[in-house]
Chains A and B, each alone.
Chain A
Amino acid sequence: MSESLARVVYVEDEPDIQAIVRIALEAIGGMKVTVFSSGQEAIARAAEAQPQLLVLDVMMPGLDGPGTLRLLREQSALRDVPVIFMTAKAQPQEIAALQQQGAIAVISKPFDPMDLAAELRQHWRTWQIANAGQR
């Protein structure tokens, strides 16, 4: 229970957003972030990073966020790792659909880099508390 969020795998195709999320989580949030630029790359190597949380961009060329998630879930090491989607879509149906894929939260872009780490931590903690009873 006292475990804190330290290792995050992040999948995003846009280099500028990658860079800013890296600062937001590493320099500001003090986490270790392993970044992959495509779903395929993440599927091949995400498990090595032993993530406590997966953060996936939704709209990526080729394999999109939900598709990546389905394939990551096939790996036993990643089956139970909570996932958060990041998206610039704002329609409630779209957000609801993403949550039905099993995301614990959906973070809208644009986001405030100064607050991103705290936001992820909060969602992660909420998820941990909610899941504590089931273990």
Chain B
Amino acid sequence: MKSGAMTPEQQLQQFREQFARQLPDRCNQLGESYARASAGDASARTELQRALHSLVGAGGTFGFPQISQLARQLEQQVREGLLPSALEFQAQLRGMVQLVQLPRPAAAVAPTATTLHPLPRELVYLAMEGAHSHELLDQLQKFQLKVHLAADAAGLQSLINERQEQSCLVIVDCQAKLPFDCPLFSAESAVDWQRHVLLLMSTRRDFTMRLQAAKLGARAVLAKPLNLPELLEVLERPEFDQQAAPYRVLVVDDDLSVASYHAAVLRSAGMKVEICSDVLRVDIVVQDFAPELILLDLYMPGWDGPDIARALRMDNQSLGVPLVFLSSEANRAVQLGAMRDGGDDFLVKPIQPQHLIESVQIRARRYRELRNAMLTDPLTHVLNRRALMLGVEREFARARRLNAPLSAAVIDIDRFKQVNDSQGHQVGDTVLKGLTQLLRQRLRKSDLIGRLGGEEFLVVLPETDLTTAWALLDDIREQFSNFDFIGVSGRLHVTFSAGISQWREQSATLWLAEMDERLYAAKSAGRNRIVGRGDDTPI
């Protein structure tokens, strides 16, 4: 088999693509079984149910959790003897096929950078009244955003229609006056702006303007001339991030069947769930899995939920994680007692799956927002030093457990002080933001990006060996060096150097020191390069 040369991620990606390619065929077969089943053919009905059932299992496994959800609904209807109408069934099948046709990132240069990207990949741009932004378009393309230019409102509409069910990112450049008279933005518009992301660009950005923009359905008003970091920052808001990492939920319950059920419900909504049925192991699992919410049974043998809550709260690290009790206890006084002991919410069993999912999602989202604010650098929105070090320890544990390679790089912007001194701090800040945004674009969600301080950053790449890490970083270095920043006297090019290292079970401090040494070697060898060995050769 040729798979020997591929990383597991690449192999998985191949299977995902294969699954996506075959889905239309699978759906056609489902349609045929459905037709025969609705004509009264009992064996076709069994066949239909089986095929849907296997799609429930396959969809999420191949990276399309919503397909599992849709298939599960259909399977249930078929099992209960309620065949949906033909129209409805066809619509559901079409929905599934569209889910796999959403643009997925094309394979980039480095194999590790092929998975999740936070930003939409395509945008439609319309300049009203002949405004121009060619420079911007160049820059957007460097960030691997594909830009379609619309000549006028009609062109914009047809570009959006071409993308059918897909959600589009639309930027309308509209000078000082918002296009209230344009039918595209009227209440009777042929375009449903709820479904797309509309950003307006204007020379005015006062509150009245923003109110008017909101009335048009826009999500943000960007300053004109547009600067790229600002646009990217808007796009990184969680509401635009359609592929945000799933919430991590820990279910603590001594009854495995109950725990498995709750886990299955939460997983069906795309969350990542771990079960712990042994109270004494809770803290290990918490450290390892870093849950964003803990669902806790109120009564367990030996230890009660409130005991566990108090014990968890004693540890600084899990202080803020929401704890939600889940129990059949209906006594309000007992419930309140449990909350006093550190619980955040009390859900009474049996609970409707949808209710459980929503309660968990709301709290996990709030926690994630809060944690992001606490653990990220306010300027660049990457991890701050403290969060970074916690993350590194977690990756150590993971690498040990999976026996997988782990690499990291210390990145330092070349001659940053000169940029700051000659161009001013604003330009300096833009450079820092530009670098972090590029890193976010090119790295995976599971990679860590953080600011060590000043112009020094650390990226941690799990399941990546030194050679792969070097190739990836070097490609990013090249891309960054071609990037145009706008300085006080025109275009400005900035480079970075990095020292990378593959972890050999040393302490975090020693590991960082090794990277620092290599970074120093890169600087003395003339900057704008990546060093992954003790001497000044690359790797």
Q: Pick the interface stretch among B32-40, B55-63, B222-230, B501-509.
A: B55-63
Which A residue's beta carbon lies closest to that of B446? Answer: A114
- Which of B53, B61, B256 lies in contact with A113, CB distance below 8 A? B61
Chain B: interface secondary structure?
Answer: helix
Contact B58 A28 (CB under 8 A): no
Contact B261 A110 (CB under 8 A): no
The reply to whether the CB of B19 lies closer than 8 angstroms to some CB of chain A is yes
Contact B15 A27 (CB under 8 A): no
Contact A96 B65 (CB under 8 A): no
The reply to whether the CB of A14 lies closer than 8 angstroms to some CB of chain B is yes
Given A109-B56, A110-B58, A110-B59, CB of A23 within 8 Å of CB of B264: no
Contact B257 A96 (CB under 8 A): yes
With the chains together, A16 CA to B270 CA distance in Å?
21
Contact B272 A112 (CB under 8 A): yes
With the chains together, A114 CA to B260 CA distance in Å?
19
- Minimum CB–CB distance from A20 to chain B (whole Å) comes to 5
Number of A-B contacts (CB under 8 A): 102
A118 contacts which chain B residues (CB < 8 A)?
A: 401-402
- Which of B15, B277, B404 lies in contact with A23, CB distance below 8 A? B15
Contact B62 A20 (CB under 8 A): yes
Contact with A along B243-275 (1 / 0, CB 8 A): 000000000000011101101110110001000
With the chains together, A114 CA to B61 CA distance in Å?
10
Contact with A along B479-521 (1 / 0, CB 8 A): 0000000000000000000000000000000000000000000
Contact A95 B264 (CB under 8 A): yes
A59 contacts which chain B residues (CB < 8 A)?
A: 50, 53-54
The reply to whether the CB of B29 lies closer than 8 angstroms to some CB of chain A is no
Contact A19 B15 (CB under 8 A): yes
B61 contacts which chain A residues (CB < 8 A)?
A: 17, 20, 109-113
The reply to whether the CB of A63 lies closer than 8 angstroms to some CB of chain B is no
With the chains together, A91 CA to B79 CA distance in Å?
13
Which B residue's beta carbon lies closest to that of A28? Answer: B8
B56 contacts which chain A residues (CB < 8 A)?
A: 88, 109-110
The reply to whether the CB of B45 lies closer than 8 angstroms to some CB of chain A is no
Contact B57 A110 (CB under 8 A): yes
Given A16-B58, A23-B15, A28-B8, CB of A110 within 8 Å of CB of B256: no
With the chains together, A60 CA to B346 CA distance in Å?
40
With the chains together, A106 CA to B256 CA distance in Å?
9
Which B residue's beta carbon lies closest to that of A105? Answer: B256
With the chains together, A111 CA to B72 CA distance in Å?
15
Residues of A whose CB lies within 8 Å of any CB of B are: 14, 16-17, 19-20, 23-24, 27-30, 59, 61, 86-88, 90-92, 95-96, 99, 105-106, 108-115, 117-118, 121, 126
Residues of B whose CB lies within 8 Å of any CB of A are: 3, 7-8, 11-12, 15, 18-19, 50, 53-54, 56-62, 65, 68, 72, 256-258, 260-261, 263-265, 267-268, 272, 277-278, 401-404
The 7 closest A-B pairs by CB, nearest first: A110-B60, A109-B57, A92-B261, A96-B257, A88-B57, A90-B264, A27-B8
